[in-house]
Chain A
Amino acid sequence: MSEWEPKIVAFLCNWCSYGSADLAGVSRLQYPHNIRAIRVPCSGRVNPKFILAALRQGADGIWVSGCHPGDCHYIEGNLYARRKFTLLKNLLDYTGMEPERLHFSWISSAEATKFAETARGVVDAVKTLGPARHFIKREAEVA
């Protein structure tokens, strides 16, 4: 069997981080292929339910990325998101989840290098932790 590779779900804002992922591709920047990108209209659209659902279905890490504060396409979506995720991460830590599974970043659509770097950072961090153990829903085993 080949070496274990983490699955990482990335919620990327359509107006910035998703664009930077695109630019990274066009610019032929290398970053690990463990990222599964999900395009969302704004980082403010990401609901804590999404994150728990991803974990439940076997994601090893979650990465949410949006526009820099002040640059939101919808003026303030990422500023609400900032409060929401700060509290979410604190509560996840508090209930015993490893903090290194959850990543947040601000990446503009011009920052392809930052995107590739952050992607590498996220994958490395999750790899060090190993496969996810918490919040996974094990399906009933059928003979």
Chain B
Amino acid sequence: MRAYTGRIREAAKRLLAENRVDVVIGFRKGTIPLMNEPYLIKSVDQVNQLYWDSNCGINLANYLPKRPDRVGIVAKGCDSRNIVVHILENQIKREQLYIIGVPCKGMLDRRRIMAERNGREPLFAEELEHKVRTVRYELDLTRDRNYFLQDNCRICTHRNPVIYDELVGDLVEEQQVDRYTDVRKIEAMSAEERWEHFEKLIEPCLRCYACRNACPLCYCPTCFVDEARPQWVGKSLDKTDTRTFHFLRAFHVAGRCTDCGACERACPVGIQVRQFTKKMEKDIKELYGYEAGVIADERPPLDTYRPGDPEPFFK
């Protein structure tokens, strides 16, 4: 995916030089290997800092809500779906945007690489064709890049951007996968086992709210966790409070979540928070046939209804 860098720079340069946009949102190379950082550029001389490889997992749609200016944005499949969600939710107008679409082959999970290297951070990383090489002193490790993909990228069915003004490469082939095997596995457990499963899952949670901050959907002026009167979620590390937080967070993104994986990527203790949101995604798909951020003129599922909606347990 390194080849995209040149095309992205070209596009950004053209857009800024022709004054088509005020700012371009992309990535630049991070200061340590395997970590690229979001980068906003406003002038042509910054263009050569823009960069693209398989460590651009952060969702750039997060920088869009309520921007007043004209924005050029680099968007892979999931970012583009979140842009659609933002447009639907009136967070930004389509006319303000120039979307530089990036067909994506999945992003790398730094944690997996670190685990494979027994926790020894690489000083150097490079991406070869279908491979990733990480180096530090004695340990020179080359592995298949698919081996290190993020969980959500493995089951991604929208690798190509759904809306774009130009593409930086040829569209890639979409995967045909069953997205919900893990949800079904949990569904098959007994109620008690499920409770224990989630209890264990969120046990290390520090309530740092990194998952919330990384999420492009979380743009409320006051988040429910910060509300004090009434206080819906306690501030302590109490088990019930932590569970309430994760539960409501998942419910809050119901029908909007595009499974971009930003939350899991941001979690400092590696909680698989997507386990909550994926259940919502599955239900909405099965009950209402809706997939978030794919069609730009359909209302989100919780903002609409059909007369014959299923009501399995209403008396």
Contact = CB atoms under 8 A, between A and B. Distances in A.
Contact of A97 (B195, B280, B314): B195
A56 B241 CA distance: 9
Chain B interface residue bracket vs A: 35 or more
Contacts of B302: 80, 83-84, 87
Nearest to B195: A96
Interface string B281-315: 00110011000000000000111010101111111
Interface string A77-101: 0011011111111111111111100
A80 B195 contact: no
A102 to B, nearest CB: 8
A46 to B, nearest CB: 13
A130 interface: no
B232 A49 contact: yes
A130 B254 CA distance: 31
Interface residues of A, number: 39
Contacts of B244: 52, 56, 135
User: Which among B234, B240, B307 has the greatest number of chain A C-beta atoms within 10 A?
Assistant: B240
Interface string A101-143: 0011110000000000010010000000000001111100000
B285 to A, nearest CB: 12
A85 B280 CA distance: 12
A53 interface: yes
Contacts of B194: 94-96
A26 B36 CA distance: 69
Contacts of B283: 86-87, 90-91
Contact of B315 (A56, A70, A118): A118
A86 B197 CA distance: 22
A91 B288 contact: no
Nearest to A49: B232
B305 to A, nearest CB: 4
A134 B195 CA distance: 9
A79 B311 CA distance: 10
Interface string A30-72: 0000000000000000001100110010000000000001100
B264 to A, nearest CB: 17
Contacts of B195: 95-97, 134
A79 B187 contact: no
B251 A96 contact: no
A76 interface: yes
B154 interface: no
A98 to B, nearest CB: 6
Contact of B313 (A76, A79, A89, A137): A89
A91 B315 contact: no
B251 A95 contact: no
B182 to A, nearest CB: 12
Interface in B146-197: 186-187, 191-197
Contacts of B4: none
B221 interface: no
17 contacts: A49-B224, A53-B232, A80-B303, A86-B311, A86-B312, A87-B254, A87-B283, A88-B251, A91-B250, A91-B279, A94-B186, A95-B194, A95-B198, A95-B247, A96-B194, A96-B197, A98-B191
Q: Give the 3 A-B residue pairs with the shortest CB-CB distance, closest first.
A: A96-B195, A96-B194, A79-B305
